């Protein structure tokens, strides 16, 4: 399939890793629908940058934790363009709080924003991919999510990201016969703007590679997973962590 003209929907696409992915695909002539919940200014700016690079862009404000809103947004993209070839579930908010001090609302929000949208969007987009016989879904988890270690300050977020890995494998099994791959990427410490610089610097000594990753380190893996060279890669979880957590 010719890359130019492909359509990607990226949640969390206004900034950080999602933004970098969108800009990279725009350089190759993709049409990018970037979804954000609150980053209106950043979303519009990223859309402008995508257009300047030669791609088509659509900036959409949507709370993907709402299944009806997620479906409506997806239909809007499909109607505007011919369909969605690639779904990148990049949105992944988190907060640090001791498990025993977590609120009910905070607990539910981690699942509503990190795990549930992967299901909501995949179930809506999959039929079109199946009809065309091609598709890519890339879900974002986190380093160590497959190890079931204690995370007393990030418990709900961590459990949700472990759930993303199980959902990824289940979707991969169901969609493989239709030419669709589903994979997960688990970043470690990436300088994406979501974590304080002081925290990143403090963690450097724990990373075997000896440095903090950049969004481009993640983009390279995403770009590979979207290619025909990766057509036989599905149900995987790729750690992008410089060796941290292995």
Residue 2 within any structural domain of the chain: no
In angstroms, the CA 16 to CA 19 distance is: 5
Whole-number pLDDT of residue 4: 75
Residue 85 within any structural domain of the chain: yes
Residue 56 within any structural domain of the chain: yes
Mean pLDDT across the chain = 95
Residue 79 within any structural domain of the chain: yes
Residue 245 within any structural domain of the chain: no
Instruction: Show which residues are catalytic.
Output: 158
Strands 180-187 and 213-214: what pairing?
unpaired
CA-angle at 151, arms to 196 and 148, nearest 5°: 130
Lowest mean pLDDT among 120-124, 129-133, 149-153, 198-202: 198-202
Asked whether the beta carbons of 104 and 55 are under 8 A apart, the reply is no
Asked whether the beta carbons of 40 and 61 are under 8 A apart, the reply is yes
User: Residue 126 — pLDDT band, cuts 50, 70, 90?
Assistant: very high
Q: Percent of the chain scored above 90 by pLDDT? A: 91
Its domain, for residue 34, covers 7-240
Whole-number pLDDT of residue 143: 96
Residue 1 within any structural domain of the chain: no
Q: Read off the pLDDT of residues 30-69 as tens digits, 9 standing for 90 and up.
A: 999 999 998 789 999 999 999 999 999 999 999 999 999 9
Residue 177: C-alpha distances to residues 129, 172, 174 (Å)? 12, 9, 7
User: Residue 18 — pLDDT band, cuts 50, 70, 90?
Assistant: very high
pTM: 0.96
CATH number at residue 42: 3.40.50.720
Region 107-136: mean pLDDT is 98
Residue 177 within any structural domain of the chain: yes
At 32 the three-state DSSP class reads strand
Q: Read off the pLDDT of residues 154-201 as tens digits, 9 standing for 90 and up.
A: 999 999 999 999 999 999 999 999 999 999 999 999 999 877 788 888
| Lookup result for tokens 């300050």 | 153
Whole-number pLDDT of residue 47: 96
| Lookup result for tokens 């809506």 | 124
Q: Indicate if the pLDDT at residue 114 is higher than 60.
A: yes
Residue 20 within any structural domain of the chain: yes
Residue 53: C-alpha distances to residues 77, 82, 143, 246 (Å)? 20, 21, 32, 37
Whole-number pLDDT of residue 2: 60
How many domains does the chain divide into? Answer: 1
């Amino acid at each position: 399939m010719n890359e130019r003209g492909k359509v990607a929907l990226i949640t969390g696409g206004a900034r950080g890793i999602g933004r970098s992915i969108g800009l990279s695909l725009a350089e190759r002539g993709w049409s990018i629908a970037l979804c954000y919940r609150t980053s209106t200014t950043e979303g519009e700016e990223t859309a402008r940058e995508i257009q300047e690079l030669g791609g088509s862009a659509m900036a959409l404000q949507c709370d993907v934790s709402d299944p009806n809103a997620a479906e409506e947004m997806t239909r809007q993209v499909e109607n505007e363009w011919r369909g969605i070839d690639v779904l990148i579930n990049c949105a992944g908010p988190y907060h640090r709080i001791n498990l025993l001090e977590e609120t009910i609302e905070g607990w539910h929000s981690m699942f509503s924003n990190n795990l549930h949208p992967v299901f909501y969007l995949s179930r809506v987009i999959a039929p079109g991919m199946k009809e065309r016989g091609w598709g890519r879904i890339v879900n974002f988890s986190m380093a160590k999510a497959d190890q079931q270690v204690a995370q007393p300050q990030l418990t709900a977020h961590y459990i949700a990201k472990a759930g993303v890995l199980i959902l990824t494998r289940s979707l991969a099994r169901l969609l493989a016969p239709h030419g669709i791959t589903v994979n997960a990427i688990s970043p470690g410490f990436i300088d994406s703007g979501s974590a304080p610089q002081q925290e990143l610097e403090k963690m450097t000594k724990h990373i075997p590679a000896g440095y903090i990753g950049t969004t481009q380190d993640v983009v390279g893996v995403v770009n590979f997973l979207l290619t025909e060279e990766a057509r036989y890669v599905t149900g995987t979880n790729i750690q992008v962590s410089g060796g941290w957590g292995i």
